[in-house]
Structure formats: structure tokens, C-alpha cells
Amino acid sequence: MNAPSSSPRQIVWSSVITVISAAILIGAEVFGAAFAGGWALAILFGLGDQGAHILQAVLFALGVLVMTAFIRGAQRIEPFTKRG
């Protein structure tokens, strides 16, 4: 068991900004691909407007999972805090 440290944690702003910037860039691509992919697949399979919206929602949910995994992985590589 780890003993509590007396030194406070400090936020590493350069890591936080790097991860947030990358998340914005990758998020735009992931969610844009989900929207466009749902629309394209709905047309390909003849699903109509309602099918397109359902497919886009499913792909959007998968995008949320991808972004969550990305941010967790990035936080392991670029820690947001460090001991004083």
C-alpha cells in the first residue's frame, strides 16, 4: 500500500493542452466519419432517412467509445498531474 505523499499534485498544463488539442482533431474526424458513413451506408442499403439517422446514432456511439479510449490512453502517456 502506498503511503500518502505530503507534496501536493500539480497540473501539467502542457500535457492537458496536448491531449485536448489532439482529442478535438481526432473527434472531428471520428464524428464526421460517423455522420458521413451512416448517410452513405443508408443510401447504399436503401434504408431511407430514418435508417440513416439510426445508423448515424450507432456510429456516433461507437465514436464516443473510440474517443473515451483515446483520452484514457493519452492520459497514460501524457499524465495530467505530477507530484510537487
pLDDT at 78 exceeding the cut of 90:
no
- Residue 21's contacts (CB-CB under 8 Å, 6 or more residues apart) are none
Q: Up-side HSE of residue 54: CA atoms within 13 Å toward CB? A: 7
pTM, two decimals, is 0.75
When pLDDT is cut at 50, 70 and 90, the band that residue 8 belongs to is confident
pLDDT tens digits for 22-63? 999 999 999 999 999 999 999 999 999 999 999 999 999 999
Cα radius of gyration rounded to whole Å, the chain? 19
Q: What angle do CA 34, 37, 39 make, to 5 degrees?
A: 105
Q: Cell triple for residue 6?
A: 505530503
